[in-house]
C-alpha cells in the first residue's frame, strides 16, 4: 500500500503527505472499495512531460497529467505511475481562477480516478470526472478541518 512522491526535473513536493495518503486511500475505497497497491506520483517539468506525451500518448502538446495504469480492478487494487506537469498545473490554476495547491490536488485525484476506472474522453464522462474530483476535494477539506480541530484540542 505504498504511495510515493518523486521528482523528475521539478523540485515540487506536496505538503501534508500523510493526510494526502489517507485521502487517496479514501478515494480508492470510495470508487469501488479498491486498495492502493503501488501508486507513484512523479512531478516533472513541462519539457519532460511533453516529451513523454509525444512518445507514449502520441500528443504533441502540453497536458497536466499522464497516467500509466497497472491496476487490477477485478482483484481489487489500483497501481500506477502518475506523471504531473507542475508548470501546466500552475498555468491551469491561473486560467481556472483557483490556487495552485487546489489545482494540484484536483490533478492528483484525477490520476487516481483514472486508475479506478473513471474515463474522461466524452463530454458526459468528463463532467462525471469533474463531479468526482469536486466530491473528493470536499472530502479532503473535511479531513483537513478534522485534523485542525483535533490539533486545537491538544
Q: Which range has the worst mean pLDDT, 4-8, 27-31, 147-151?
A: 147-151
Average pLDDT value for residue range 129-145 = 96
pLDDT at 61: 81
The residue to which cell 477485478 is assigned: 74
pLDDT at 97: 98
**Cα separation values, 10 from 13, 77, 79, 85, 112, Å:** 9, 29, 23, 9, 21
Average pLDDT value for residue range 99-127 = 97
- Rounded to two decimals, the pTM is 0.94
Phi (first) and psi of residue 39, to 5 degrees: -135, 120
pLDDT at 135: 98
pLDDT at 147: 73
Instruction: Say how far apart CA 108 and CA 36 lie, in whole Å.
Output: 14
Q: Is the pLDDT of residue 153 over 70?
A: no
Q: Please, what is the angle between helix 17-30 and helix 123-153, to 10°? A: 130
Q: Is the pLDDT of residue 42 over 90?
A: yes
Amino acid at each position: 500500500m505504498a504511495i510515493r512522491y518523486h521528482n523528475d526535473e521539478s523540485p515540487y513536493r506536496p505538503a501534508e503527505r500523510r493526510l494526502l495518503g489517507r485521502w487517496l486511500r479514501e478515494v480508492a475505497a470510495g470508487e469501488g472499495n479498491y486498495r492502493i497497491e503501488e501508486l507513484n506520483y512523479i512531478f516533472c517539468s513541462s519539457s519532460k512531460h511533453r516529451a513523454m506525451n509525444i512518445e507514449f500518448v502520441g500528443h504533441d502538446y502540453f497536458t497536466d497529467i499522464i497516467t500509466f495504469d497497472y491496476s487490477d480492478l477485478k482483484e481489487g487494487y489500483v497501481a500506477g505511475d502518475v506523471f504531473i506537469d507542475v508548470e501546466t498545473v500552475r498555468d491551469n490554476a491561473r486560467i481556472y481562477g483557483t490556487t495552485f495547491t487546489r489545482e494540484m490536488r484536483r490533478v492528483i485525484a484525477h490520476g487516481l480516478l483514472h486508475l479506478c476506472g473513471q474515463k474522461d474522453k466524452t463530454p458526459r464522462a468528463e463532467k462525471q470526472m469533474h463531479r468526482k474530483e469536486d466530491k473528493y476535494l470536499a472530502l479532503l477539506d473535511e479531513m483537513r478541518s478534522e485534523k485542525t480541530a483535533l490539533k486545537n484540542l491538544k
